[in-house]
Structure formats: C-alpha cells, structure tokens
Amino acid sequence: MIKTFTLFLLSFIFHQVTLATEVNFRVINKKNQLQIEDVWVLHTNSGDLKFSNIEGQVRFDGLLSGISTFQFSAIGFETKLVSISLPAETSLVDIVLEETMVAIEEIVVEGNALHKKNIIGKLDIGLRPTQNSQEILRMVPGLFIGQHAGGGKAEQIFLRGFDVDHGTDVQLTVDDMPVNMVSHAHGQGYADLHFVIPELVDKVDFNKGPYLAEKGNFTTAGWVNLKTKNALDENIIKAEVGQYDLYRLYGGLNLLSPGSADHHRSAYIASEYKFSNGFFEAPQQFNMFNITGKYIGELGRNNTLQIGLSHFSSQWNHSGQIPNRAVENGTIGFFGSIDPTEGGKTSRSSLTFQTLTPLQKGLIKNQIYWVDYNFELYSNFTFFLEDSINGDQIRQKERRNLMGYNGSMQSNHTLGGFDGEFHTGIQFRYDFSKDNELAKTTNRSETRNQLQYGNIREANLAVFIAEQVTLSKKWNVELGLRLEKFFNTYQDYLDHGVTSKASSFNVYPKCSAFYQANKNMQLYWKLGKGFHSNDTRVVVLQKGKMIAPAAYGSDLGMIWKPGKRMMIQPAIWYLWMDQEFVYVGDAGIVETSGRSQRLGIDLSARYQLAKNWFADLDLNLANARAIANGSQEFIPLAPVFTSVGGLNYQNSKGLSGSIRFRYMGDRPANETNDVIAEGYTVFDLQFSYRIGKIIIGTQINNLFNTRWKETQFNTMSRLREEARGVEEIHFTPGSPFYFRLSLSMAL
C-alpha cells in the first residue's frame, strides 16, 4: 500500500513538474538588433498562440518537457520555425527574424490581441510609404482629411459619419503622447500632426469606437497612435522639388555605431525643412522646420529607457474658404482669395521619457512628457458681414504648456482555471493655456477688439482597469472600466481677472467578446461608453454641466481570411452621442446641438494578386442624424459614403509604385439637406526605384487634374460690394495636378 501510494505521489509530482516547464522568448530584428512587437508566436504542439509585447517578449508556461516547436510570424518578416528542448537552458531565448517583403500570408487571424491594434494598419504602411503627415492619417480606413487654411493649419478630419473638425472625436497620439489640444484657441481637440516627420513613422495603430479602457478623451469615433522608428535603417539625405515652388530637404543620422545594436541600444536624429508657395493665386509662402531625436537603451539589468525630443515650427499665408458666387461671377478665380492676409504661425517642442520593465508574466510602462506649444492664426470666414469697412478678420492665439504621465501594468495569469490578462493604469494630464485670445483684427496688423482673453488651466486624471479572459480556444471576453476626473479653471482678463472653476467625475464601462470560428475567421462584438470633453470657457459658465458628454457605441464585425492572400474586415456599428459640439470660431463659442445617433457599415478588403501586386479597397457608409427633441435632422458635413482603394506594386529589387483613388460622396451642408457639399473622386500616382544607395521617387497628386472642393461650409458672408449677407457654400479648392520629384542617398 505504501509502495503504491509512493509511486502515485512521485508520478503526481513528476506530472506537476512537467507541466510547470516554461520558456520566455525575445524576438529581435536582425537588421538593427532591436525588439519586434506584435509577432505572432504559435506553439505548434498545443496550438496556443500569443503576441510579443513592446519589449519583443512572449512567454509560454505549463508546457510539457521535451521537444517543442514554435512558429514566429510578423508582417514584413520571414516566418521562422524553432524547435527547442524543454526545460530550456536559459531563462530568455533570443529569436532573430529577417526582414522581407510584405505578404498577406503572414497574417494570422487568431489570438486575443487582434482587436486592440488594427492589423490592417501594419499591412498598409508596409505597402504605402508616407510622403507627408496627411497620408499618415489616411492609413486609417474610412478616415478622410481636408486642408482649408494653407499647409500649416491642422487638417479637418472626417470619420464614421463625423465632421470631426480638427479632432473633437478622434484621439490622436504620437508614441502615446497626446496631440489633441483641449480648450484650444481655434477649437476643442485641435490636433496638428505636422510636427511628425513622415519618414520616421514605423507603425500606425488605430481602432474605431470607444471600446478600450486605456483610451480616454476624444475617443468616440476612434483613436490613432503613430509609433516612430526605434532606429533608422540607414543614414540618409533626401531632396524633393515640385510644382508651385515646392522644396523639401530631409536627413536622418544614426548617432551610435553599428556595434551598439548588439546591446539593444540605438540613437538617431532627423530633420526636415520645407518651403512651398502652394497652388493658390496668393503665394502661400509656407515655411516648416522639424527636428527629432530618439534614444533607446538599457537602464539597469531589467529596464529599457526611451527618450524622445522634437521641435517644430511653421508659418504660412492662406486663402481661406471662398464663396461659390465670387467664383461664378468672375470676381476671383477658382484658386483665388477674398482676404489674402489670412495665415498663421505655430511651434511645438516636446520631451518624453519612457521606461519599460518586463515582469515574469507581464510588463510595466511609465512615461512622462512635456510639450511647449505656441499658436497664432488669422482667419476671415464672413469677410464684411459684421464690419463693412474693416472686415471680419479674427486672430486666435495661445501659448501652452502641457505635461503628463502615463503608467500601466500588464500581467498574464490564471483566473479560475482560465488564462487571463490584467491591464491597469493611471493617466494624468495638465494643460496651462496662457493668454488664450480671440480678437478682431485688420490685415494681421491692427487689433481692433478683443472678444476673449484669459488663462485656461485644465487637469485630467484617469484610472483604468481591464481584464481579458480566454474561456476556451474559441471564446475570449474583455471587461474594462475607466474612471475620469476633470478640473477646469478659467481666468477672464476681460472681466477684471475673475476666476471660474468647474469639475466632474464620470465612469466609463467597456465590454467585448471574441469568437474564433476557425483559424481564418474571428467574430467580435464590442460595447462601450466613451466621451469628448467640452471647452473650459464653456463649462465654467455652465457650472460644470456637460464637461464630458458621453458616447455609447457598439460594433459587430469579423476578421476573415477567405484565402491565403485575401483578408476582409466588415463591421456594422452604432454610436449614440449625448451632445454634439459645433465650434464657431469667429464667435468664440461652442454650440451644443443636442443628442445624435450614427449607424453605419465599414468594409475593408486586402488582396495579394501576385507576389508583387497588392490591391486594397475600403467602403464606408454612415447615417448621421441629430435627434434632440425627437427630431431627425441632418448633421451638416457628416460624410455619408466614402471609399478609398488602390493597386500597389513592390519587388525585392527596389522598385515600387501605386495608383490610388479616394471618393467622398455628396453630403448635407445644413440640417435640412437642401444645401449640398459636393463630392469628389481624386486619383494619385506614386513611383520609386532604388539603385544601390540612390532612391529616385515621383509623386503626382490629382493625376487627372480634377477640379474639386476639398473642404466646404455653408456660411453666411458678405462681400465688400454687397448690400447684405448671402448664405451659401464656401470652399477651399483641392489640389490640381501636382508633380514632385525626390532624390535620396544612403550615406
């Protein structure tokens, strides 16, 4: 009896030890010796699939002793099979992957991380090199942008039935540092991405809807995070010339020797200068300068330190929005202007520190950031409607300091016999906008009257938790909760320096479920509550009411690979808004338009026609309505039907090219839909070829020289010779046929 019990006990202990075997991988890029995030790692023995974290690490435990085989796959890297004997001789096994051409076959439609970062973004950026900050945002399927005040002003954004203005309903970040400016002089959520050098963008992570607990303010239609490169592939200098006096110079330099990569360290500095007069009749005289640096290195034995710094400045003239009638009666040309003294200048300097600390079964991230920002813009939307002698030009101006902290911890664990991932974090942001001003001006020189002038202080503290549980090989669920506290303060210089305050506290639950129908199809259903904050100057007058109006969203969709070379992502979505915001810049107010709802369908398809040929197509349909007081009014400028697509070619010998189109359908310009913002279809062509260390590239915007209106507004205005105001479409013309040539040299 004792012998039998002893054998049983030894067998049980041996069985537990066997199951306790574990292995921890670190996936490294052979080219620069830096870690690779979001690598699919498949344990072929058991079928378990996991993703590498930001440190390139992925851990498997509870494995059987003996030979185990793992498959490593990532977009833009060769797939690698590795067999190791467990238990492993070392606690950390390095896996080195080689870069290769992008292939849709590499995409794995499995795993519980697919919903957090849209994998289409990783695929597209490998096939569609970005030439400017505008094209970076266009990586997001269904996202349209429009420039309506020269090259230096932030673009107007359209997404999921929203005229987002400059950022009220899309959260934009760069390396997790916020871009949207709260209580901005020009408009709530103003997000200017021109400080990003396009050649430095490594990944575009995005998703739509308010479903992630870690995403806060402005995440209603969606969010976009640009990740800059950790190291330059090579030292390079690039020169561009184009029509309309376009000149651009870019240079990037690695600061550490190649041997430093063996210690997982890198440092680089990159800069660009751009000048353009634009295609308007009034010369734009757009000047822009950017410089960016980044360092990554080990901090102690078990920490990675990332330091990023940048400085950006620009100034420009612009022609603004012009009325249809002035073009039709011949007063000005299609590219003319009513007030050629419009324009502006802006600058942004930033510094960020981030540490990454791998845990035995997780990761801790800590980030602090600081931004110094200046903005000055002169606009004239109504010309002579209010002042028939001096005109209606306004100045919007501010000086801002922004600082904040992002801290989070992710840990993998077992919960009630199920594998789980716990994610929690604290986020804090403080904005101090000094001398935030709206004033009436003449010719950008004379200040006639100040309409608003004061200091804005806004603090935002958030705590979030999320738990994702793998219930079976087919089912995953995630529950999240976000707690948000706002503190708003406004000191009004025009009212004897009187200071007003407001605050609010809100709770935002999230819930998502994912079903793995088979290895090529994942279904999902997401529910969540998000918000967009209101301008401080408004909420202090309302005693804290409507500081952060809620948004309730739901997505039902799938990620499907019907074949090895095709991927399709359809989704049906709904979003209910507690309050719409319309910023009236020349009046310095935010109009609240009441409740609204949006219902739509998104469809994205990617197909690899052959080894070197790729096709893509995005279709987006949205129905947006204001529903305050039981009404069903149209929402002005809300996109109804949009589509983008293209054909891309890429080979291993340095030749690449693409032809792409974007289509924006007609959309309502007012609440009754009797004024229409005209749609457009525009084609662009791009080509590049590498010979040794020389890269030659060309880009043609508006290949067929279509006459189109990039942004449109239904505005009441008055021209100097008119007796009264006229309400009609005012527009900024889109680019005509626009050719530019680039020459790059690796050093």
Mean pLDDT of 560-566: 92
Token pair for 575: 């979003």
Q: How far apart are CA 455 and CA 587, in angstroms?
A: 18
**Reduced to 3 DSSP states, what percent helix, strand and coil does the chain have, rounded to the nearest 5?**
10, 60, 35
Lowest-pLDDT choice from 91-100, 287-296, 397-406: 91-100
For 325, the enclosing helix (H) or strand (E) is: helix 324-328
- Asked if the model's pLDDT at residue 325 lies above 90, the reply is yes
Residue type, 619: L
Residue with tokens 């070197």: 612
- Name the CA radius of gyration of the chain, rounded: 27
Kindly state the percentage of the chain with pLDDT values over 90. Answer: 67
The pLDDT score that the predictor gives to residue 14 is 40
Q: Is the peptide bond before 733 cis (omega within 30 degrees of 0)?
A: no
Task: Assess whether 69 and 157 both reside in one domain.
Answer: no
Token pair for 29: 């890029």
Token pair for 205: 């992570």
- Asked if the model's pLDDT at residue 582 lies above 80, the reply is no
Lowest-pLDDT choice from 70-79, 245-254, 280-289: 70-79
Task: Assess whether 91 and 130 both reside in one domain.
Answer: no
Average pLDDT, the chain: 89
The pLDDT score that the predictor gives to residue 10 is 41
Answer yes or no: is 108 within a domain. Answer: no
Asked if 170 and 263 count as a contact pair (C-beta separation under 8 A), the reply is no
- Asked if the model's pLDDT at residue 158 lies above 50, the reply is yes
Strands (E), 299-361: 304-317, 322-323, 343-359
- Asked if the model's pLDDT at residue 111 lies above 70, the reply is no
List strands edge to edge, sheet with 726-733: 322-323, 726-733, 709-717
Q: What is the pLDDT of residues 386-427, one digit of tens each?
A: 999 999 999 999 999 999 999 999 998 887 778 888 999 999
Binned at pLDDT 50, 70 and 90, residue 119 comes out as low
The domain in which residue 92 lies consists of 2-100
Task: Assess whether 521 and 434 both reside in one domain.
Answer: yes
- Asked if the model's pLDDT at residue 5 lies above 50, the reply is no
Residue type, 594: G
Asked if 509 and 529 count as a contact pair (C-beta separation under 8 A), the reply is yes
Mean pLDDT of 713-742: 94
What CATH number is attached to the domain comprising 464?
2.40.170.20
DSSP SS3 for 70 = strand
Task: Assess whether 57 and 132 both reside in one domain.
Answer: no
Please list the residues that pair with 563 across neighbouring strands: 566
Task: Assess whether 87 and 154 both reside in one domain.
Answer: no
Binned at pLDDT 50, 70 and 90, residue 117 comes out as low
Task: Assess whether 38 and 170 both reside in one domain.
Answer: no
Q: What is the pLDDT of residues 631-666, one digit of tens each?
A: 789 999 999 999 999 999 988 888 999 999 999 999
- Asked if the model's pLDDT at residue 53 lies above 60, the reply is yes
What CATH number is attached to the domain comprising 94?
2.60.40.1120
Report which of 205, 181, 190 is spatially closest to residue 155, judged by C-alpha positions: 190
Answer yes or no: is 692 within a domain. Answer: yes
CA distances from 37 to 227, 344, 639 (A): 11, 39, 35
The pLDDT score that the predictor gives to residue 305 is 93
Q: What is the pLDDT of residues 469-482, one digit of tens each?
A: 989 889 999 999 99
Task: Assess whether 494 and 609 both reside in one domain.
Answer: yes
Q: Which of 39, 73, 100 is the endpoint of a domain?
A: 100
CA distances from 395 to 431, 432, 488, 528 (A): 21, 20, 24, 39
Q: Which of 100, 131, 148 is the endpoint of a domain?
A: 100
Answer yes or no: is 358 within a domain. Answer: yes
Answer yes or no: is 43 within a domain. Answer: yes
The pLDDT score that the predictor gives to residue 13 is 37
Task: Assess whether 90 and 179 both reside in one domain.
Answer: no
Answer yes or no: is 111 within a domain. Answer: no
Q: What is the pLDDT of residues 510-544, one digit of tens each?
A: 999 999 999 899 999 999 999 999 999 988 988 77
Answer yes or no: is 110 within a domain. Answer: no
Q: How far apart are CA 642 and CA 140, in angstroms?
A: 13
Strands (E), 160-302: 162-165, 170-174, 177-178, 201-208, 222-228, 236-242, 246-254, 266-276, 286-298
Strands (E), 533-640: 550-563, 566-577, 581-584, 589-592, 596-608, 613-626, 633-634
Binned at pLDDT 50, 70 and 90, residue 15 comes out as very low
CA distances from 551 to 127, 221, 265, 527, 598 (A): 34, 9, 42, 11, 11
What total of structural domains would you count in the chain?
A: 2
Binned at pLDDT 50, 70 and 90, residue 19 comes out as very low
Q: What is the pLDDT of residues 342-364, one digit of tens each?
A: 999 999 999 999 999 988 888 99
Q: Which of 42, 73, 100 is the endpoint of a domain?
A: 100
Q: Against a cut of 0.95, is the pTM above it?
A: no
Q: How far apart are CA 314 and CA 311, in angstroms?
A: 11
Task: Assess whether 55 and 170 both reside in one domain.
Answer: no
Answer yes or no: is 106 within a domain. Answer: no
Task: Assess whether 82 and 134 both reside in one domain.
Answer: no
Report which of 439, 431, 493 is spatially closest to residue 456, judged by C-alpha positions: 431
Residue with tokens 């324009």: 343
Q: What is the pLDDT of residues 535-557, one digit of tens each?
A: 999 889 887 778 899 999 999 99
Token pair for 278: 């634009």
DSSP SS3 for 299 = coil
Residue 15 CB coordination number (10 Å): 11
DSSP 388: T
- Asked if the model's pLDDT at residue 147 lies above 50, the reply is yes
Q: What is the pLDDT of residues 26-50, one digit of tens each?
A: 898 888 778 888 888 888 888 788 8
Task: Assess whether 145 and 212 both reside in one domain.
Answer: yes
Q: What is the pLDDT of residues 597-640, one digit of tens each?
A: 999 999 999 999 998 999 999 999 999 999 987 778 999 999 99
The pLDDT score that the predictor gives to residue 131 is 65
The pLDDT score that the predictor gives to residue 192 is 94
